[in-house]
Structure 1
Amino acid sequence: MTPGTARIAHLTHAVEASAVLKLFPSRPRVLALGEPTHGEDTLLDVRNELFRHLVEQEGYRTIALESDCLAGLRVDAYVTSGIGTLDEAMTHGFSHGFGASAANRELVSWAREFNTGRDASDHLRLAGFDGPLEITGAASPRQALTALHTFLASWLDADHLLPCTAATLDHLLGPDARWTEPAAMTDPSRSFGRSSEATELHLLAADLVSLLDERTPHLITAAGREAWDRARLYGRTATGLLRYHFWTADTSPARLPRLLGIRDRMMAENLLDLAARGPVLAFAHNSHLQRERSSMRMGGERLEWWSAGALVGARLGAEYGFLATALGTIRHQGVDEPPPETVEGLLYALPADRFLIDPRALSAALGDPLPAPRVSPWFGYFGLDPAHLAETDGLVFVKDIARS
Structure 2
Amino acid sequence: MKSWMIGRIGPMIAAALSDAAPKAPSLAADIQREPATITLDTFVVRSTQPQILALGEASHGNEDVLRARNRLIRRLANQRLIRWVALETGYAEARLLDRFVRGGVGEAEDVAKHGFTSGFGAFSENAALLRDLRAVNLVRPKGDRIGIIGIDLSLGGPLDSAPTMAPVRCALEAVTNPARREALRTAFEEAVKPGLATIAVTGEQKAGFHALARRLQAVLPPTASREAQTCARIVEQSAAVFDSMPRVITPGSIPTDAWISISRRDKAMAANALDILRRSGGKSLLLFAHTSHVLKVPRRGGQWATQQRPPRSMGEFLHQHLGKLYFVLAQVERAPAKDASVPDLITTMKIHCAGPCVVPTTTQLEHSPAIVRVGINGNDEQLIDRSAADEFLFDPRGN
Q: TM-score range by the shorter chain?
A: 0.7 to 0.9
Counterpart of 1:247 in structure 2 is 244
CA distance in 2, matches of 1:318, 1:372: 22
Counterpart of 2:45 in structure 1 is 24
Task: Provide closer, same or farther for how the CA distance between residues 21 and 59 of structure 1 changes in structure 2, counting only shifts above 3 A.
Answer: farther
Counterpart of 2:196 in structure 1 is 180
For the aligned residue pairs, the C-alpha RMSD in angstroms reads 3.5
1:195 deviates by 3.1
Task: Provide closer, same or farther for how the CA distance between residues 348 and 260 of structure 1 changes in structure 2, counting only shifts above 3 A.
Answer: same
Would you say 1:206 and 2:214 are equivalent positions? yes
Counterpart of 1:373 in structure 2 is 373
Normalised TM-score (structure 2): 0.76
| Residues 262-315 of structure 1, C-alpha deviations (whole Å, 9 max, x = no match) | 211221121111111221111111111111112355597235121111112211
For the Cα contact (< 8 Å) 2:86–2:151, is it kept in 1?
yes
1:390 deviates by 3.3
| Residues 343-376 of structure 1, C-alpha deviations (whole Å, 9 max, x = no match) | 4247686344122222012113xx24469536x5
Counterpart of 2:329 in structure 1 is 323
Counterpart of 2:387 in structure 1 is 390
- Superposition pairs of residues 82-231 of structure 1, within 5 angstroms: 82-134=104-156, 136-138=159-161, 140-151=163-174, 153-154=175-176, 165-175=180-190, 177-181=193-197, 183-184=198-199, 189=200, 191=201, 194-195=203-204, 198-209=206-217, 219=223, 227-228=225-226, 230-231=227-228
Task: Provide closer, same or farther for how the CA distance between residues 324 and 87 of structure 1 changes in structure 2, counting only shifts above 3 A.
Answer: closer
| Residues 142-189 of structure 1, C-alpha deviations (whole Å, 9 max, x = no match) | 3323432441x33xxx69xxxx922432342244543422x42xxxx2
Equivalent residue letter for 1:280: L
Equivalent residue letter for 2:171: L
Task: Please identify which structure carries the higher helix content.
Answer: 1
Counterpart of 1:12 in structure 2 is 37
Identity, % of aligned positions? 22
| Residues 233-271 of structure 1, C-alpha deviations (whole Å, 9 max, x = no match) | 211211122222222274598741111012112211211
Mark the runs of 5 or more structure 2 residues left unpaired by the alignment. Answer: 1-32, 250-254, 338-342
Counterpart secondary structure, 1:295: coil
Normalised TM-score (structure 1): 0.75
1:79 deviates by 0.9
For the Cα contact (< 8 Å) 1:132–1:138, is it kept in 2?
no
Counterpart secondary structure, 2:373: coil
Task: Provide closer, same or farther for how the CA distance between residues 68 and 296 of structure 1 changes in structure 2, counting only shifts above 3 A.
Answer: farther
RCO greater where, 1 or 2, for CA within 8 Å and sep 6 or more? 1
Would you say 1:273 and 2:275 are equivalent positions? yes
Equivalent residue letter for 1:25: R
1:101 deviates by 1.2
Task: Provide closer, same or farther for how the CA distance between residues 249 and 260 of structure 1 changes in structure 2, counting only shifts above 3 A.
Answer: closer
Counterpart of 1:234 in structure 2 is 231
CA distance in 2, matches of 1:362, 1:124: 35
